[in-house]
Homo-oligomer: A and B are copies of this chain.
Amino acid sequence: MKELIDLVDKKLDEYMPVTYPEDIFKAMKYTLMLPGKRLRPVMCLETARILGADISKVLPAACALEMLHVQSLIHDDLPCMDNDDFRRGKPSNHKVFGEANAVLAGDALLTFAPQLIIEKSKGLKESQILRILHEYTRFAGAYGLIAGQVVDIESEGGKLVKTPRETLEFIHLNKTAVLFRLAVRIGAIAAEADEKTIEEFDNFAKKFGLAFQIYDDIMDEISSFEELGKTVGKDKNSGKLTYVSLYGLEEAESKFRNLIQECYGIISRYDSKVFNEILDKLAERIRSN
């Protein structure tokens, strides 16, 4: 896994130029290059690999996933959204570059990511690139990631169209699971997997995403700033819908463990050290707290 993370870091640095007007490229690159787990690109690359594709084919799309993720973080941190001053332990984008540049850096990442896929995906067929772009637009926008963010914000304001539990699941599926789903789907498409396999990985990513978000909710409840690298207790303090607030800590932990077990079950059909390592680490962190 360490190898894949290093590869992604190297490629992100290589793909993301700094040219005139430098301020926008610097702002894009700043949050992008903050050390992260690179889970989405790593899961994309690993899916492609275990399904038999040369991972070099899918490196641009994998890096585009991280750009899309970082875009959502930059906009999420804005004063008019979550108003978070820290991200990955460092000042958030708008604290360094100002709000206007942070808005524009997010916009620019949102168009640079598909541009990268189009320009650098050597070895993929046109039909594969088009399908990857289609999935990208479906999952990144108002039918996916942004839907999750909107319902998240509305729920904080107490505005619920569905029941609290339905709303929470919608938020978690769309705000968190959606990019993991996109990651494995792109990996599988690059490997020319059949639809059944794509759906199997999609199902894995959905469960993983839910577990990941429950983990996040639990950590926000019990962890410290040093561990988290961002402001703690915000969810609780803002009266936000979380697994912990709706189900209590114990049931949240139990739901988390069940989802992780289901993930192990799905991935056991493949020989993937990386996926096992990702699951181990997530499970381990909950245990150690």
Instruction: Bin the interface of chain A by size.
Output: 35 or more
A25: chain B residues at CB < 8 Å are: 142
| A279 in the interface (beta carbon within 8 A) | no
Question: What is the CB-to-nearest-CB distance from A81 to chain B, in angstroms, rounded to a whole number?
Answer: 5
Contact A21 B150, beta carbon cutoff 8 Å: yes
Write out the residue numbers on chain B whose beta carbons fall within 8 Å of the beta carbon of A118.
130, 133-134, 137
Residue A207 CB within 8 A of the other chain: no
Contact call B108/A107, Cβ cutoff below 8 A: no
- Give the copy number: 2
Provide the residues of chain B in CB contact with A111, threshold 8 Å: 110, 136-137, 140-142, 146
Which stretch of A98-106, A183-191, A254-262 is in the interface?
Answer: A98-106
Q: Shortest 3 CB-CB distances between A and B: which pairs?
A: A111-B141, A80-B99, A115-B137
| A interface residues (Cβ-Cβ under 8 A, vs B) | 20-25, 28, 71, 75, 78, 80-81, 98-101, 103-104, 106-108, 110-112, 114-115, 118-119, 126-127, 129-130, 133-134, 136-138, 140-142, 146-147, 149-151, 153-154, 161
